[in-house]
A and B are shown apart, each in its own frame.
Chain A
Amino acid sequence: GAGVSQTPSNKVTEKGKYVELRCDPISGHTALYWYRQSLGQGPEFLIYFQGTGAADDSGLPNDRFFAVRPEGSVSTLKIQRTERGDSAVYLCASSHSGNEQFFGPGTRLTVL
């Protein structure tokens, strides 16, 4: 009965480095979403997976951001050449057949 989990909970990195953020959705949920929440803002959509494929990646800000979900369960958000502006809380959510999205606690990314 576990909810959505995200690791790490906090990540501090230096400008220019590569980071990976992991999301474990609720078991059986076919849809998985990534959002980014900057300080004082509402979450912003990044990408949505249905199964293994990205059904909508219109929110990815540029080609430094990439996400995968190779087996239709766990997903990894990858950020290359991190910039200070990438600092935010990255949220993952999952849902079953387009119903309510259940959110994880987020990964707080700080780029120094």
Chain B
Amino acid sequence: AQSVTQLDSHVSVSEGTPVLLRCNYSSSYSPSLFWYVQHPNKGLQLLLKYTSAATLVKGINGFEAEFKKSETSFHLTKPSAHMSDAAEYFCVVTLSGNTGKLIFGQGTTLQVKP
């Protein structure tokens, strides 16, 4: 079975400093991994996805994530936080090539302080 664990429920950074949101996954098969962002009162938006191509994945708004099979991790990073990055972030796994269900982590709330 597939699952994801987001290691921090809440992360607080100052504007202009780096962001690190941690995610570990469990999968019996080759997984596809995603990061979604959810701003208040808005729908979930895809930030980036890994589907067994390059292990370093670049997404929108300057975010990127690195797939590390040996560590079963898929941490999300951004070099410099912006106030508009404050939101809920979800790490998500699904079976590679599967067109079905996404399995979400519990979410990490990112707070950005001025």
A and B from one complex: yes
Q: SS class of chain B's interface: helix, strand, loop or mixed?
A: loop
B43 touches A42 (CB 8 A): no
C-alpha spacing A31/B101, complex, angstroms: 11
- Say whether A105 contacts B104, CB under 8 Å: no
* Minimum Cβ distance to chain A for residue B47 (Å): 11
- Residues in B with CB closer than 8 Å to A71 are none
Q: Is B56 interfacial (CB-CB < 8 Å)? A: no
Contact code string B39-54 (vs A, CB < 8 Å = 1, else 0)? 0011111100100000
Contacts A98-B99, A103-B36, A106-B43 supplied; 6 other A-B pairs, CB < 8 Å: A40-B107, A42-B104, A45-B101, A45-B102, A48-B100, A98-B98
- Can you report 17 residue pairs joining A to B where beta carbons are below 8 Å apart? A33-B101, A33-B102, A35-B104, A41-B107, A42-B90, A42-B105, A42-B107, A43-B102, A50-B99, A56-B101, A91-B44, A93-B44, A97-B99, A98-B99, A100-B49, A103-B36, A103-B45
